[in-house]
């Protein structure tokens, strides 16, 4: 299909952990309009994190309409829609009524941590890793689906009769945009469920049996760039093809045009996520990283290695909202540069456990080195440095798995506007940190995938012309100083590990 020439824009929907966003881009990759709405974070018990699926839909559909109105456009001007989403977050709904049977269980939720430990003790780790590239962890969707089926009255019986649907957030949005006519996901999102065999590119029957999940609940797995359906809601004045889907981190990798093996991007959002393109073969990590599908185009999968920091920008939110150390996120940079160093303070932001390469769900946030001379500025600086250290640890693990990484790291996400953080990241990683002009890499990736499917852009070469550099950060401190900082950081990490004792 070739796009009608009158349709001059692409609409990217970026459904994130704390807000829903919509961005309209033109053929040059320029953002012509955007809209964003936050939604409520629900914490029913310690370690539990939920969202209202209806609020996800309401906020996402409303910002889509708002962005189109802001740009003074109609649906007739939109060539296609690309969707990118918070991954692993799990929604189960009734196939007939389209009503969720429980709140969305968010990727950050740890209610199934004990069950994951049981899986490890039962010797299931290698089976899961070999098939899915993942490790048994509460992070992924499979144990969340099982929990809903086990704990919502009547859910197992309804699922056995084919009356329930499971979806990550992309599937839920497509279902709502098509009024329940289309139940699909793409390979990148499927690869984050712990139910998808990344080698056969199919749902794995052995894993479905292990978690006691009926296959009838699962969406059809499609390419990341293809026409899935047209919209069927009254939100737009005309039907618009939905033609691109990717999980947020894979979308950011594509949006940063890391299309060659060895290229690296890191997204600094609520968490921090580093990915490297490993080409057409999945690389099994020896350093506790995840092997994942980056995208699938024309039936061919591209793979990636990923390391996840659970708390990235969220540590700044915590300083602002819980401790009131700063009044806004931007103040952390001013505080950080107001002192010459961290004053010996190290902040391990393991507020929801440690992700890669540690994978310690019993670790907790730790601040060490506090003295009478410690100030709010030292605390803010230590928090930002802690994020950079965590990214460094992932990069080291990644280099150990693939051998040679690019000396450049492309970055995106809200926190990359913080020049101190980016400079410190370059100092610690001893390489170049490249910040693009357009920081909306996640939305750009969804737009690129959607646009390629309808012929809005012809090929990757077309897209390469769009990516432009804003600033490159290189190392500015002696290597010996960086090594000393890292030495003390790793001492602090040791003190945070395994803090929560199993009851």
479-496 helix and 419-429 helix, angle to the nearest 10 degrees: 100
Name the nearest CA neighbour of 188 among 442, 470, 489. Answer: 442
CA torsion 335-480-273-415 (nearest 10°) is 20
φ/ψ (deg, to 5) at 11: -105, 120
How far, in Å, CA of 94 to CA of 447, rounded? 30
Output the CA torsion sign for 127, 130, 134, 135.
positive
The 10 Å Cβ neighbour count of residue 407 is 11
Binding-site residue positions for glycerol: 87-88, 139, 248-249
Binding-site residue positions: 17-19, 21, 87-88, 139, 248-249, 270, 313, 317, 414, 418
φ/ψ (deg, to 5) at 243: -135, 10
Binding-site residue positions for ADP: 17, 21, 270, 313, 414, 418
- CA atoms within 13 Å, Cβ hemisphere of 213: 28
Place of tokens 């952990």: 17
Binding-site residue positions for sn-glycerol 3-phosphate: 17, 87-88, 139, 248
Contacts of 494 (CB under 8 A, 6+ apart): none
Name the nearest CA neighbour of 482 among 426, 432, 408, 422. Answer: 426
Name the nearest CA neighbour of 309 among 440, 369, 377, 398. Answer: 398
Q: How many residues would you count in the chain?
A: 503
φ/ψ (deg, to 5) at 241: -70, 135
Using H for helix, E for strand and C for coil, what is the string for 79-95? Answer: EEEEEEECCCCEEEEEC
- The SS3 assignment for 361 reads coil
Rg (C-alpha) for the chain, rounded Å, is: 22
How far, in Å, CA of 222 to CA of 34, rounded? 28
Q: How far is CA 164 from CA 94, 159, 253, 262, in A?
A: 5, 5, 32, 41
Binding-site residue positions for ATP: 17-19, 270, 313, 317, 414
How far, in Å, CA of 315 to CA of 329, rounded? 10
CB 290 within 8 A of CB 304: no
């Amino acid at each position: 299909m070739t796009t009608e020439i009158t349709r001059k824009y692409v609409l990217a929907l970026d459904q994130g952990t704390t807000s829903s966003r919509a961005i309209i881009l033109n053929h040059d990759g320029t953002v012509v309009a955007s809209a964003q709405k936050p939604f409520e974070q629900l914490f029913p018990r310690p370690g539990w994190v939920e969202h209202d699926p209806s609020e996800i839909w309401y906020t996402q559909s409303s910002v889509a309409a708002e962005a189109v109105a802001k740009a003074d456009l109609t649906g007739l001007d939109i060539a296609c829609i690309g969707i990118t989403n918070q991954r692993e977050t799990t929604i189960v709904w009734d196939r007939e009524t389209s009503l969720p049977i429980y709140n969305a269980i968010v990727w950050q939720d740890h209610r199934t941590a004990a069950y994951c430990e049981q899986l490890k003790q039962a010797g299931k780790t290698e089976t899961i890793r070999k098939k899915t590239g993942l490790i048994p962890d509460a992070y992924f969707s499979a144990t969340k689906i099982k929990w809903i089926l086990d704990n919502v009255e009547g859910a197992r019986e309804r699922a056995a009769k084919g009356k329930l649907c499971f979806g990550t957030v992309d599937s839920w949005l497509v279902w709502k945009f098509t009024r329940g006519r289309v139940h699909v996901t793409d390979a990148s999102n499927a690869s984050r469920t712990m139910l998808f065999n990344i080698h056969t590119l199919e749902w794995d029957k052995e894993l479905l049996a292990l978690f006691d999940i009926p296959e009838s609940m699962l969406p059809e797995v499609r390419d990341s760039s293809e026409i899935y359906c047209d919209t069927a809601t009254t939100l737009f004045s005309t039907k618009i093809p939905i033609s691109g889907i990717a999980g947020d981190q894979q979308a950011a990798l594509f949006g940063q045009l890391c299309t060659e093996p060895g290229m690296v991007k890191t997204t600094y959002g609520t968490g921090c996520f580093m990915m490297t393109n490993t080409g057409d073969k999945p690389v099994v990590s020896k350093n506790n990283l995840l092997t994942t599908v980056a995208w699938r185009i024309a039936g061919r999968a591209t793979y990636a290695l990923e390391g996840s920091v659970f708390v990235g920008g969220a540590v700044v939110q915590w300083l602002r909202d819980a401790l009131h150390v700063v009044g806004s996120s931007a103040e952390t940079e001013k505080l950080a540069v107001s002192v010459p160093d961290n004053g010996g303070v190290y902040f391990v932001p393991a507020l929801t456990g440690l992700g890669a390469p540690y994978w310690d769900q019993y670790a907790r946030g730790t601040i060490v080195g506090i003295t009478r001379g410690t100030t709010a500025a030292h605390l803010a600086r230590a928090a930002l440095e802690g994020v950079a250290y965590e990214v460094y640890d992932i990069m080291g693990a990644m280099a150990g798995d693939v051998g040679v990484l690019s000396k450049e790291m492309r970055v995106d996400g809200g926190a990359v506007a913080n020049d101190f953080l980016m400079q410190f990241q370059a100092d610690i990683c001893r390489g170049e940190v490249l910040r693009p002009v357009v920081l909306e890499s996640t939305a750009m990736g969804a737009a690129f995938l959607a646009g390629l499917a309808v012929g809005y852009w012809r090929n990757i070469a077309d897209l390469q012309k769009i990516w432009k550099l804003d600033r490159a950060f290189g190392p500015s401190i002696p290597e010996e100083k960086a090594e000393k900082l890292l030495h003390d950081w790793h001492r602090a990490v040791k003190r945070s590990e395994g803090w929560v004792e199993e009851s």
